[in-house]
Structure 1
Amino acid sequence: MKLRRKDREVTETNELIQIIDQCKVCRIGMQDNAGLYIVPMNFGYTYENNQLVLFFHSAKEGRKIQALKENSVVCFEMDCEHRLITGDLACQYSYSFKSIIGNGKVVFIDEVEEKKTALSALMRHQTKKDFSFDDRMVDSVLVFKIIVHEFTGKYHP
């Protein structure tokens, strides 16, 4: 992915992961027969062996799930550290932020133990606490992951 403003690009892996750590909502962009569709979702993640994987849970039905089953290629965006930068004139105003944008492929998780691991990662990211899940709890939700193909970060101080 190429950024127009190279001076704002975040390229260091540790800094990218720090931004992901701060973000709690990930917007997933997808397409179905009705058109483009974007949905904000809480998420968890792992970053191992240079591979970012994002985890989500959902109801088992709905437009999002149908769209993802029909076309598993998605893009995503997350942002944090929002702050208005003021000025004397309207065009001197700006906005400070950090963001991550990327693309990947959705894979639905059916295996019970993998679902538990994914849900644990999601809860750890959202709450900084460890939770355990029994089979009944896991069976009540649909769990999927985005295997990230490419992502980049941006920072406007």
Structure 2
Amino acid sequence: MFREMRRKKQLLSEEETSEIIKAHSAGVLSVTGDDGYPYGIPISYAYIDGNLYFHCAKEGHKIDAIKRNDKVSFCVIDKDEVIQETFTTHFRSVVAFGRARILTEDIDRRAALESLVGKYSPDYMQEGQKEIEKDWSRVCVVEVKIEHMTGKAAKEIAKYKE
């Protein structure tokens, strides 16, 4: 169903791939937007047990797109070092494919929002609970069940692993 990576020597392990997606604070979510145009939008997210969670407004381009087509992709760039003299970059990145769904059960919504507070403001959990309560009726929470995820590194970096 998903393509195999063409340059298998550059494939990161599942462990490295998971570490990258857990470590970062932002990535780009891509959906099928209006009139079939791709729509990529930077988001903050939490990655837990193979799923991504993010919050957003209840209305807008992103939510309309997810309601029309739940298939999404998500990308995180871990490293991007330009090497001028060799006309290349030393990079590490992750691409994930999955299905997005708007969470409707209060217990699921709360758990996802608490995971976001825990990731971005771990020293302010109590204040985060108040923020969740304040915005509860206005916030939309989305889960992306990842079906396929790969990590890739520039061949120059991959060589160092061998």
TM-score with structure 2 length normalisation?
A: 0.81
Q: Unaligned stretches of 5+ in structure 1?
A: none
Residue 57 of structure 1, CA deviation:
0.4
C-alpha deviations, 1:28-59, integer Å up to 9, x for none? Answer: 11114422211111100102xxxx10001001
Deviations 1:124-156 (A, max 9, x none): 333454624253433221100100111111122
* Structure-2 residue corresponding to 1:38: 40
Unaligned runs of 5+ in 2: 158-162
Equivalent pair of 2:26/2:42 in contact (CA under 8 Å) = yes
Aligned to 2:160: none
Partners of 2:144 and 2:100 in 1: CA distance: 4
SS in 2 for 1:151: strand
Structure-to-structure mapping, 1:1-157, within 5 angstroms: 1-11=3-13, 13-34=14-35, 35-47=37-49, 52-87=50-85, 92-129=86-123, 131=125, 132-133=128-129, 134-156=132-154, 157=157
Whole-Å Cα distance in 2 between the matches of residues 85 and 3 of structure 1? Answer: 24
8 Å contact from structure 1 (residues 99, 155) kept in 2: yes
State which drifts further: 134-143 or 20-29: 134-143
One-letter amino acid of the structure 2 residue matched with residue 82 of structure 1: D
Distance 1:119 1:63 in 2: 21
Distance of aligned partners of 1:8 and 1:21 in 2 relative to their CA distance in 1, 3 Å threshold: same
Structure 1 Cα separation of the partners of residues 123 and 21 of structure 2: 17
Q: Deviations over 1:88-144 (max 9, x none)?
A: xxxx12112221112111111122221121112223333454624253433221100
Q: Distance in 2 between matches of 1:140 and 1:119?
A: 13
- Aligned-pair identity in percent equals 24
TM-score after normalising by structure 1 = 0.84
* Cα 1:130/1:120, change in 2 over 3 Å: farther
SS for the counterpart of 1:10 is coil
Please, which moves more after superposition, 123-132 or 78-87? Answer: 123-132
